[in-house]
Amino acid sequence: MTPSRPLHPDVRIGHVHLKVADLARSLGFYEGVLGFKLMQRFGPNAAFISAGGYHHHIGLNTWESAGGKPPAPGTTGLYHVAILYPTRAELGDALRRLQAAGIALDGAADHGVSEALYLHDPDGNGVELTWDRPMAEWPRDEAGGVAMFTRPLDLAGLLRA
């Protein structure tokens, strides 16, 4: 079914909730490595974290998953959550944080419209750390449509940003 009118262009995804096996371990990753701030904690089972004082960008909970295992390959669920950084320099800082914590990347790509780092959190949830180039710099096809691609990301250049 096609909507009768397009969604308002200012609509954004405000937050995501992730089921985790160990709340302290997840906070160690999202707070300790990536730098999110704890906004509120609900006992030993849930925490809400953010950047910049928003009520929460990520909810972490063990309500149905304490001690659980990541979803098996070939099952449905979250592929990854994308965390959008405001600048290339901030994405470079995220890469430095990951390297300092000894966290390996699953991949890194230049998509023309954005640059992205791909990894998994301690519970196996896919995480994309990304920044978007200004829309005026996005690659376009002959008809003016967005022409994304996937090319290797210059990690050394990203660290210099």
Domains of the chain and CATH, by start: 12-65 (3.10.180.10), 80-161 (3.10.180.10)
pLDDT at position 2 is 74
SS3 of residue 10 by DSSP: coil
d(CA 14, CA 59): 11
What predicted TM-score, i.e. pTM, was given to this entire model? 0.92
Q: Is 52 left (phi over 0), alpha (psi -120 to 50) or beta?
A: left
Per-residue model confidence (pLDDT) at position 5: 87
Contact between residue 48 and residue 31 where contact means Cβ atoms under 8 Å apart: no
pLDDT digits (tens, 9 = 90+) for 40-76: 999 999 999 999 999 999 999 999 999 999 988 899 9
* Pair 104, 83: CB distance under 8 Å: no
Other C-beta atoms lying within 10 Å of the C-beta of residue 131? 21
pLDDT of residue 120: 96
| pLDDT for 4 beyond 90 | no
Residue 138 or 7, more confident? 138
